[in-house]
Amino acid sequence: MPLATDTTDVKKSQDVPRMEPINAQKVAQYEHFLNETLRSDLETTLERRDKIYEQIAEYNELSVILGTLDGHEGPKLRTKVDIGCNFYVQAEIENCRNVIVDVGCGIWVEMNETKAKEFCEKKTKFLNKQAEQLTMKEVKTKAEIDVVLEGLKEIQGIKQFQPKSFDSSF
């Protein structure tokens, strides 16, 4: 009888694939590439895209403010200004005809309302194109991550869970 149990033990050990040293090395390389390169690239891409979306929101807000200034008549305008952390102070704008706009790289330019609106539209279109490119890069990186994960599964001999089809004919 001991021989029968020995053969079943041998059969059970043959069912479980052993990882060869070459495969273990490949797995380690793929995991390093996945964690250190692809996932960090994805995180960087998402952070950059979020910053661009913040800029788009700021330029959209400026466009709305310029629209309210457009209808203002009179020499002065009273308003509240956010000085940070949702703390507001009352402010008085003496000249509503010109505004100072951040055009990027720390450069501020004084413009009239129509030029500022045109600039906001152009800048928003430019930023939307950049956000779209980053979204495409995100999709590409996620696809690369999926390919690497599938390669890891294949190397390790992991079978993907396949749900059994449900037969609804009872």
What structural domains does the chain harbor? 20-155 (1.10.287.370)
pLDDT in tens, the chain (170 residues): 444 444 444 444 445 455 555 677 888 888 888 888 999 999 999 999 999 999 999 999 999 988 887 766 666 778 888 888 889 999 887 777 788 888 889 999 999 888 999 999 999 999 999 999 999 999 999 999 999 888 888 877 776 655 566 555 55
Q: Hey, CA dihedral for 29, 33, 34, 35, is it positive or negative? A: positive
pLDDT at 95: 74
pTM for this predicted structure: 0.69
Question: What pLDDT does residue 8 have?
Answer: 46
- Which own/partner contact pairs does 123-131 have at CB distance under 8 Å and 24+ positions apart? 123/55, 123/59, 124/56, 124/59, 124/60, 124/63, 127/52, 127/55, 127/56, 127/59, 128/56, 130/52, 131/49, 131/52, 131/53, 131/56
pLDDT, residue 96, reads: 75
- Helices 113-156 and 21-32 pack at an angle, to 10 degrees, of 170
